[in-house]
Amino acid sequence: MSASGLIVARNIVKRYGRKRVLNGVEMCVPQGQVMALLGSNGAGKSTLLRIISGLTKPDRGEVLLGGVSTSKAGHEIRRYIGLVAHAPLLYDNLSAWDNLHFFARLYDIQQPAVRVEAVLRAVDLWTRRNDPVRTYSRGMTQRLAIGRAILHDPPVLLLDEPDTGLDPSSAETLAQLIRMLSSGRRAILLTTHNLERAVAWADSISLLADGKIIWSTATEGLTSEKLRQVMTELEV
Amino acid sequence: MRLNGGALAYLGKVAAVLIKDVRAELRGREIFSTMTAFSVLAVLIFGMAFDLRVPRAEMIAPGVLWVVVLFTGVLGLNRSFGAEVDRGTLPSLLLAPVDRSALYFGKMLANLIFTLATALVILAVMFFIFDLNLFQPYNLVAMLLGVIGYVGVGTLFAALTANSRARETLLPILLLPVMVPVFVSGVALTAGVLDGKAWEDLSQWFGILAAFDAIFIVVAYLLFDLIWEDA
C-alpha cells in the first residue's frame, strides 16, 4: 500500500435508471486520515461507499485502493476493506462470538479465537460475547458491527452513518473507537449528517452534491457553525 | 485459479458458511420447522384427497412423495439467500475475500441437509398415512440424488431471485420447470422400488439423476460469481 491516496476514486459515474446519482466523483483519502463525506439524503454517499467497497459497480470510472484498481484485482482486494453499513451486517440469532468467529474463518485469520477475543475486548463486548446479537442495544450492535469491520485489520475502513440512532454515550464510545482506528496506516471514509461529529472525528471534509464533490477542506480550524454556513451557501 | 489459497482453505470457507447456516437454523428454527410443518400437512391433505378414490396407495405414493419434496424444498431455498437479504447480511458475505463459489457450495450443503432431513420426515409420515415403507435402499439413494440436483439448481436460483421483491413466487416459477427431469426420474424410481423392480430396470433413471446433478452443479459453480455484479 502506498503512503498517500490509500482510497482514490476517479471520475465515478453511476446511474440508477435515468437518474445520474454520481456524476464524475473524484476523491482521495491518504493513509492515516479520516475523511467525512457530507451531503443531503439521496446525494449518493452510500452509493459511493458501496462502489468503493466493490458491492456496486460504477458505470464509469475506477476506484484504487493502495494503487490497485478494484475492478482489475481479484477477490483478494476485499481483504483491504472493512465496511460498516446502515444495516449491522450481523446474524442476530448468533452470538457476538459466533458472528466474529464465522467472519474470521471467511477472512483466513490465523488463530481466530485470539483475534476474536482481542476485537471483542476492544469494542467492549467481551462480557456479552455469548449473548445473541438480537438482545443487544443499538449502541452495542454498532460496536460489534465495527468489530466485524476491523476483524481482519483492513487498511481501508468505510463507515456509512455509523452514528445514526446512537445515544450521546454510545456516540462518544464510537468516537473513541474511530480515534483509535484512525491512528497509523488506515484510511477512513465516513458519512454522517452530524456536523459537530464530522468536524470532531475527521481530518478533512468533502461535500457531495449533484453527483460531485463540490467542496473539500481540512477540519483544522473549522467549526461546525462555519461548516453549516458553507453548506447553506452551497445549498447542500 | 479459483482455489486461491489452496483447496483446504477453500473447503474451510465452504464449511464456515455451512456451519453458520446450520447454527443459525438451530438457534432460530426458522427453516426446518416451517418445511416440516408444511410437508406433514401436505402429506395429510394428499392422504385425505386420495383415500376414497384410489384402491392402492402404491399408485399415488411416488407422485405424492416427490411433489411434497419439491414444494417443501422451495420454502427452504427461498430462505437460503432471502434471509440474508432480509437481515441485511448479504453484503458481509459478498465483501469477504472468498471465491463466491465457496458461498454457493456452503449454502448448497446447508440446503441439502435441511431438505434431506425434511425428506426423512416425509417418508416417516407417509409410512403412517399410506402404510408404505419407503425407507428402502434404492429409494433412499434416489432421494439423495434427486435432492442433490434439486438444491444444486435451487441454490443458484435462490441467489438469482434473492433481491427480487417477488422472490417467493419467482423462485418456484423458475425452478420447478427445470426440475422436470428430477421429478420424472424420482417418481419412476420410487414406483420401481415399490413394484420390486431390479437394478437393471432402475439404473437408467439413476443415470439421469446423476447426470443432472453433475451438469447443473458445474453450471451453477461457473455462473454463481456472475449474478452478484450489483448485489
* pLDDT tens, position by position, B2-21: 445 688 999 999 999 999 99
Residue corresponding to grid cell 464509469? A60
Q: What's the pLDDT at A137?
A: 93
* pLDDT tens, position by position, A132-164: 999 999 999 999 999 999 999 999 999 999 988
**A168-197 burial by CB neighbour count: b if 16+ within 10 A, else e?**
eebbebbbebbeebbeeebbbbbbbebbeb
Q: Is the Cβ–Cβ distance between A206 and A36 less than 8 Å?
A: yes
Q: Which residue has the higher pLDDT, A167 or A192?
A: A192
Per DSSP, the residues of B6-58 read: -HHHHHHHHHHHHHHHHHHHHHH--HHHHHHHHHHHHHHHHHHHHHTT-S-GG
Q: Is the Cβ–Cβ distance between A122 and A96 less than 8 Å?
A: no
Q: Tell me the CA end-to-end span of chain B in Å, nearest whole number.
A: 24
Instruction: Give which of A137, A146, A152, A5 is closest to A68, Cα–Cα.
Output: A5
Q: How confident is the model at residue B45 (pLDDT cuts 50, 70, 90)?
A: very high
SS3 A229: helix
Whole-number Å distance between alpha carbons of A108 and B112: 25
Q: What's the pLDDT at B52?
A: 67
pLDDT of B121 above 60: yes
**B134-151 burial by CB neighbour count: b if 16+ within 10 A, else e?**
beeebbbbbbebbbbbbb
Which residue from B minimizes the CA distance to A86? Answer: B88
Mean pLDDT, residues A95-109: 97
* pLDDT tens, position by position, A61-87: 999 999 999 988 888 899 999 999 988
pLDDT above 90 as % of chain B: 82
As beta bridge partners, residue B103 has: none
Question: What's the mean per-residue pLDDT of chain B?
Answer: 92
pLDDT of A2 above 80: no
pLDDT of A219 above 70: yes
Q: How confident is the model at residue B57 (pLDDT cuts 50, 70, 90)?
A: confident
Mean pLDDT, residues A153-182: 88
Say yes or no for a CB contact (<8 Å) between B94 and A107: no
Instruction: Give which of A64, A26, A87, A62 is closest to A155, Cα–Cα.
Output: A64
Contacting residues of B for A88, CB less than 8 Å apart: 88
Alpha helix (H) ranges present in A107-167? 112-122, 138-150
Whole-number Å distance between alpha carbons of A94 and A104: 15
Contacting residues of B for A102, CB less than 8 Å apart: 16, 19-20
Contacting residues of A for B231, CB less than 8 Å apart: 55-56
Residue B226 DSSP one-character state: G
Write the CA distances from A31 to A8, A152, A200, B62, B155, integer angstroms: 11, 17, 18, 65, 41
ipTM of the complex: 0.89
Residue A58 cell numbers, joined:
460504477
Residue B175 cell numbers, joined:
425452478
Say yes or no for a CB contact (<8 Å) between B89 and A85: no
Mutation target vs A (from B95, B163, B228; most A CBs, 10 A cutoff): B95
Q: What's the pLDDT at B1?
A: 36
Read off the pTM.
Answer: 0.90
Q: What's the pLDDT at B225?
A: 85
Q: φ, ψ for residue A155 (rounded to 5)?
A: -75, -20
The amino acid at residue B1 is: M
* B79 touches A: beta carbon within 8 Å: no
- For residue B199, what are the contacts with CB-CB under 8 A and spacing of at least 6? B138
* pLDDT tens, position by position, B150-205: 999 999 999 999 988 899 999 999 999 999 999 999 999 999 999 999 999 999 99
Which class for A225: exposed (0-12), middle (13-18), buried (19 or more C-beta within 10 A)?
Answer: exposed
Nearest to B96 among A94, A107, A132 (CB): A107
As beta bridge partners, residue A60 has: A13
Per DSSP, the residues of B161-219 read: HTT-TTHHHHHHHHHHHHTHHHHHHHHHHHHHHHTT--HHHHHHHHHHHHHHHHHHHHH
Nearest to A106 among B13, B91, B229 (CB): B13
Instruction: Give which of B54, B38, B39 is closest to B130, Cα–Cα.
Output: B54
Instruction: Give which of A168, A103, A4 is closest to B97, Cα–Cα.
Output: A103
* B6 touches A: beta carbon within 8 Å: no
